C-alpha cells in the first residue's frame, strides 16, 4: 500500500448574530403588569406577553366571576330560591381590546393570540395539558384555560391580506403574503376579542 | 511486453521549475517543465478479481471530506469513473461505485487521485460571473512499446454547468518558457479550434504540432511512440449563474488499441474531472419576531440566502447558540436544516425575572465549518 496524502480543507463557518434587550413584563399581581399566556408546547410556541392589556375583561376580576342560575319558585306558603352554582370550568372569560386612539392592538399581537387559538394543546385523555393564562395585572394566580377564539367580531371572518383594501389593517405589513407572520407593524382598528374557558387554577 | 497501464504515466506541469521537479500542487499546473510528481495518492493492488475493489486508508477518518475523486487507474483492466460509495472509517476501507469495463484481474494496480486538486472549486463569485481556467498535464508513454492508435477525448458523465475542452500540445511545452501561463485564466497559445470537447472530436495528433514527422510523439499512423510525452491542456468553463448547481463530472479518456510489443488491447484509462462549485456566498440573518419581555419569548428565524443572487439556500445545517451570558433558554434549536425558504425557526424563552430587564440577549447562528 502506498502512502497517501489528502488535503483536508478546514471549513470556515459563517456566523451571524442578533442582539435584543429584554423589556419588562411586570410582577404577577402588580397593577400595570402585562398579561401572559404560556403554551405547553414550548418548543414551538413562545410565551405571549401582551403588548397591551385588554380594555375590558368579562367574567373575571381578581378571580373568576360566576353567574349562578337562580330561579324563584312559589311554594304553598311562600317562595323559595333555587340556585345552581357555577364552577370555574363553567365560566367563559372574554378579553376585549377596544380601539383606543384609533387602534385596538398591533396586528402582530393579534396573530400571536390567533396562533394560540388555532393551535390548542393536543388532546390526551390522561395527561391533558392546557394553555396557562396569567392576568398579572389582576392577580398572581395562573389559570389553565382553553382558548376558544381570538377574533375580530366586527367582521365575520378575519382574513388579512395585508393589502390596501384590508379594512382591518392600517399601516404597513412587512410580509403581506403571510397573514400569520408575527413581525408586521400594522395596527388593527377594530375591536379584538379573545374568548377562553377557564379550566382550573394552577 | 504486455501492455500495462502502470507505464502510462500522468504528470503535472511546473512553471518556472526544472524538469522533473516535484510539483505537489496540481493547481499550479500551468505549463513549463514536467514535474516528476504525479498526483497519485492511493495505490492498491487487486488481490481478488471482482467488480468491487477496496482501497484502505486508515488515516482518513471522515467521509465528509472525501466527496468526489479524480481517478486514474492503471492496470490491464479499464474502468469508468468511480466515486466513493462507502467508507468504513474504522477500517479505512473505501468502496467505490462505478463500472469496470473489464473485470479487474489479480495483480492489477489502481491509483486514485484527488479530483479537486486539478481545478480548485469554483467560488460563488466565479460561478456567478462565469469563469474559464486552464491546467496542463502530461501523459508519458513509458511502456517500452508504441501505443497503437492512441487518442484522448472527453466524455461527460454528469452534465452540469461546467464544461471541459482539451487540446493536445507539443513537446515544446515541456521544459521551457513556451506555453507557461502567468495565471490560470490566461489562454494557452493555441487556436480555439485546437480545443476539442466531444467524444467524436478526439485528439490523435496535436494540430499545432510543428516538428517534423518521425520526431514527434506520434508516428505517421497516429501511434504514440515509446518514451514520448503528450501535453494536454484542459480548459474548464464554469457557465455564468452556476452557483447552487450540482457538480459536473467529465471523464478525460486516454485510449490505445494495443501496443506494438504484443500488449493486449484495447486499453483505456480515464481521469475524472469533477467540479465543486461553491453554491453560494452565504448570507445569514438572525431575527426575533418580537422584542422579548421577561417571562416572555420570541420565535426566532434564521434565514440563509445567497448574497449574490438573493435566492434562499435549502438543506443546510444551522447551528444555534445562545451566546453567554445571555439569560433565558432556547427550544427546538438542535438539528435544524434550512427549508425551501432557506429558513429555520426555533423559540427563545426569556427568564421570568424582572431583574433581567434591560439585559442583552444575543443569539448566534452559524453554518459550515468542520464538523
Bond from prior residue into B325 cis (ω within 30 degrees of 0): yes
On chain B, the residues whose CB falls within 8 A of the CB of A27 are 354
Model pLDDT for residues A62-91, shown as the tens digit of each residue: 999 988 889 999 999 999 999 998 888 889
Question: Given an 8 Å threshold on Cβ–Cβ distance, is B291 in contact with A20?
Answer: yes
Candidate from A109-113, B26-30, B244-248 with smallest mean pLDDT: B244-248
Count Cβ atoms below 10 Å from residue A185 Cβ, excluding itself: 11
Contact in structure between B299 and A182 (CB atoms under 8 Å): yes
Give the chain A residue nearest B296 (alpha carbons): A47
Specify the pLDDT at position B98: 55
Span B318-359, pLDDT tens digits: 999 999 999 999 999 999 999 989 999 999 999 999 999 999
Backbone phi and psi for residue B189, each to the nearest 5 degrees, phi listed first = -75, 65
Instruction: Specify the DSSP element, H or E, that contains B45.
Output: strand B40-45
- Please tell me if residue B302 touches chain A, with a CB cutoff of 8 Å: yes
- B260 pLDDT more than 60: yes
**Which residue(s) pair with B283 in the sheet?**
B305
pLDDT higher for B167 or A48? A48
Per-residue pLDDT, B210:
38
The average pLDDT across B13-19 equals 78
Containing A16, the helix (H) or strand (E) segment is strand A14-21
CB contact under 8 A, A17 and B291: no
Could you give the 3-state DSSP secondary structure of residue B110? strand
Instruction: Pick from A107-111, B20-24, B300-304 the range whose average pLDDT is largest.
Output: B300-304
Return the residue of A nearest to B284 by Cα: A16
Q: Between residues A41 and B312, which one has the greater pLDDT?
A: A41
pLDDT digits (tens, 9 = 90+) for B171-228: 666 665 567 888 888 888 777 767 776 555 555 544 443 333 344 677 767 788 888 8
Comparing B149 with B371, the larger pLDDT belongs to B149
pLDDT for the residue B127: 76
Any residues with CB less than 8 A from the CB of B290 and at least 6 apart, and which? Answer: A46, A108, A112, A182, A183, B296, B298, B299
pLDDT of residue B1: 42
Residue B114 touches chain A, beta carbons under 8 Å: yes
Pick the residue with more confidence: B224 or A26? A26
Q: What's the pLDDT score for residue B244?
A: 57
State pLDDT tens for residues B192-208: 767 776 555 555 544 44
- Pick B163 or A18 by higher pLDDT: A18
Q: What is the mean pLDDT of chain B?
A: 71
pLDDT tier at A95, thresholds 50, 70, 90: very high
Q: In the Cβ-directed half-sphere of A165, how many Cα atoms lie within 13 Å?
A: 2
What would the pLDDT profile of B106-160 be if each residue is shown by its tens digit? 655 555 544 445 777 777 677 777 889 998 888 888 778 888 888 777 777 666 7
Residues of B in contact with A19 (CB under 8 A): 360-363
Amino acid at each position: 500500500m502506498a502512502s497517501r496524502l489528502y488535503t483536508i480543507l478546514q471549513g470556515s463557518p459563517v456566523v451571524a448574530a442578533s442582539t435584543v434587550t429584554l423589556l419588562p413584563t411586570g410582577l404577577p399581581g402588580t397593577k400595570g403588569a402585562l398579561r401572559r399566556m404560556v403554551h405547553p408546547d414550548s418548543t414551538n410556541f413562545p410565551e405571549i406577553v401582551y403588548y397591551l392589556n385588554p380594555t375590558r375583561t368579562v367574567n373575571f376580576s381578581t378571580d373568576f366571576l360566576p353567574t349562578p342560575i337562580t330561579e324563584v319558585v312559589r311554594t304553598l306558603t311562600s317562595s323559595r330560591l333555587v340556585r345552581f352554582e357555577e364552577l370555574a370550568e363553567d365560566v367563559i372569560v372574554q378579553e376585549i381590546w377596544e380601539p383606543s386612539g384609533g387602534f385596538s392592538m398591533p396586528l402582530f399581537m393579534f396573530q400571536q393570540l390567533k396562533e394560540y387559538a388555532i393551535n390548542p394543546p393536543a388532546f390526551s385523555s390522561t395527561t391533558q395539558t392546557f394553555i396557562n393564562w396569567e392576568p398579572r395585572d389582576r392577580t398572581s394566580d395562573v389559570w389553565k384555560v382553553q382558548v376558544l377564539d381570538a377574533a375580530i367580531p366586527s367582521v365575520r371572518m378575519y382574513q388579512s391580506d395585508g393589502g390596501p383594501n384590508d379594512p382591518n389593517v392600517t399601516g404597513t405589513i412587512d410580509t403581506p403574503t403571510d397573514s400569520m407572520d408575527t413581525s408586521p407593524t400594522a395596527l388593527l382598528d377594530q375591536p379584538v376579542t379573545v374568548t377562553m374557558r377557564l379550566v382550573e387554577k394552577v | 511486453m504486455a501492455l500495462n497501464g502502470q507505464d502510462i504515466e500522468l504528470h503535472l506541469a511546473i512553471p518556472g521549475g526544472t524538469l522533473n521537479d516535484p510539483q505537489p500542487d496540481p493547481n499550479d499546473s500551468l505549463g513549463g517543465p514536467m514535474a516528476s510528481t504525479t498526483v497519485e495518492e492511493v495505490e492498491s493492488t487487486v488481490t481478488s478479481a471482482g467488480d468491487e475493489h477496496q482501497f484502505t486508508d486508515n488515516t482518513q477518518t471522515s467521509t465528509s471530506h472525501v466527496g468526489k475523486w479524480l481517478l486514474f487507474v492503471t492496470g490491464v483492466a479499464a474502468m469508468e469513473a468511480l466515486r466513493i460509495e462507502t467508507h468504513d472509517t474504522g477500517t479505512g476501507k473505501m468502496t467505490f461505485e462505478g463500472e469496470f469495463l473489464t473485470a479487474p484481474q489479480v495483480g492489477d494496480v489502481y491509483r486514485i487521485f484527488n479530483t479537486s486538486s486539478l481545478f480548485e472549486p469554483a467560488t460563488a463569485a466565479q460561478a456567478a460571473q462565469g469563469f474559464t481556467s486552464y491546467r496542463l498535464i502530461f501523459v508519458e508513454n513509458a511502456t517500452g512499446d508504441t501505443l497503437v492508435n492512441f487518442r484522448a477525448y472527453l466524455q461527460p458523465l454528469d452534465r452540469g454547468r461546467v464544461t471541459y475542452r482539451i487540446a493536445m500540445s507539443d513537446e515544446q511545452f515541456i521544459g521551457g518558457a513556451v506555453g507557461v501561463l502567468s495565471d490560470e485564466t490566461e489562454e494557452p497559445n493555441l487556436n480555439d479550434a485546437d480545443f476539442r470537447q466531444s467524444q467524436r472530436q478526439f485528439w490523435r495528433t496535436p494540430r499545432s504540432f510543428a516538428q517534423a514527422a518521425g520526431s514527434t510523439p506520434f508516428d505517421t499512423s497516429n501511434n504514440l511512440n515509446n518514451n514520448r510525452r503528450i501535453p494536454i491542456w484542459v480548459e474548464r468553463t464554469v457557465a455564468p449563474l452556476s452557483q447552487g448547481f450540482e457538480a459536473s463530472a467529465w471523464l478525460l479518456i486516454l485510449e490505445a488499441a494495443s501496443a506494438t510489443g504484443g500488449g493486449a488491447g484495447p486499453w483505456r484509462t480515464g481521469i475524472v474531472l469533477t467540479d465543486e462549485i461553491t453554491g453560494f456566498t452565504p448570507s445569514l440573518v438572525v431575527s426575533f419576531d418580537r422584542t422579548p419581555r421577561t417571562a416572555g419569548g420570541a420565535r426566532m428565524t434564521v434565514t440563509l440566502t445567497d448574497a449574490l443572487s438573493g435566492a434562499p439556500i435549502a438543506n443546510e445545517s444551522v447551528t444555534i447558540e445562545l451566546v453567554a451570558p445571555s439569560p433565558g433558554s432556547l427550544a427546538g434549536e438542535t438539528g435544524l436544516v434550512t427549508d425551501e425558504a432557506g429558513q429555520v425557526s426555533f423559540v427563545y424563552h426569556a427568564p421570568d425575572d424582572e431583574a433581567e430587564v434591560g439585559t442583552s440577549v444575543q443569539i448566534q447562528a452559524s453554518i459550515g465549518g468542520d464538523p
